[in-house]
Structure 1
């Protein structure tokens, strides 16, 4: 019934057929679109378009980009859909100087590898070479150089072990201004103190200390030298308490 009038069934049949035809056409279009999308996706995954095109490496200093990429096993033939981000990160973290790694996929075909390396804290002098010392206490023997490093303490007689690890922990807690004022650190253990060290400062002073209390006492170094005559150099003893002994006095006692 339309507007109070009775509509004959034979008049409604064409409209119903038209509605059904439109619905069927919409379904057919949707199915065809889904079909072509599926075909395009399959073709894409099997074509060079789905291969990794760009591999970016960030945060690396110790290792080159080539070394990181080689460890990741990624190439320009790798399928970006099959990239296992966690596995690649674990493989890169097997490198001794890498603290952590993160692998991100940037569509359509870019991989970004971000690494965090252990820091170089100091350099160990061994014969004619300078070997980097990392903040995990490891020595980079394969990165040794004969060039004197700048603004880094030079270590003598240390080797991988508890004393070196204790020194690294201490250095990491000290301000940069104090680290930069240290020229050399010599490992000089005694019978009573296996953690004894001797420091030679850039300002001409010498420091005698033990690693057991080194960081707690060395932080006061600027305050200590501000109370001393800059023209009168000597040894600042930080082992028990803090006291100063001029080189002339030390030499005089040795002569006696």
Structure 2
């Protein structure tokens, strides 16, 4: 399968701080990746590189067959869908959900005087149906719950039929019910043969939807484990990434993790 993302010895260095340290990573067509790690591990920086929103200090980056540094990044970004808190914050509170989604066709947030045809609205309606948010179509973005906002931004990212979809902590700030609704939407997306390659950043293993195929674990700007999720998702790898002893459990394809109990030497032991 062709490489959709190909990083070789990529580093991002800032004064007194190495954000990414010699990252080599390949994502191929048809794969669904989750990037795990604690705060400060470099997950969001890595996602910015893959989104063509940041250039590395050193190393080689190819995204969708194009070499970063030798391609017009504005053209490249039209082939990449991105959801993040920043994207959600850019959508006017008074914008209807339908317009918030369809306006992605012009890469704008907030409809002005763009012309859209029926095909655009049909495409938006199809995506809303697939994500279970058709009933929100006429609501304004500012009236939505956090979980509804997350699913609308995913729909917006899918509007342009991207080849690569990047999800930056989609479950962040959601209550249990909203998070489970979102995970179900992502499971449906991951299971679709027409879906783009997916890369999701998360702090929590219980947010990984069914259908995700690979995992990348990071710590201190480095990769500590990478590969197929069924082989790489282990207590040892996860514990090393988060710097503590963890017990990982799996049931019906969903994961949970908890900190291992401390052990104490028995009183009076020789």
Alignment TM class, shorter chain as reference: under 0.3
TM-score (norm 2): 0.24
Work out which of the two has the higher radius of gyration on C-alpha atoms and give 1 or 2. 1
TM-score (norm 1): 0.25
Which structure's residues are more often helix, by fraction?
1
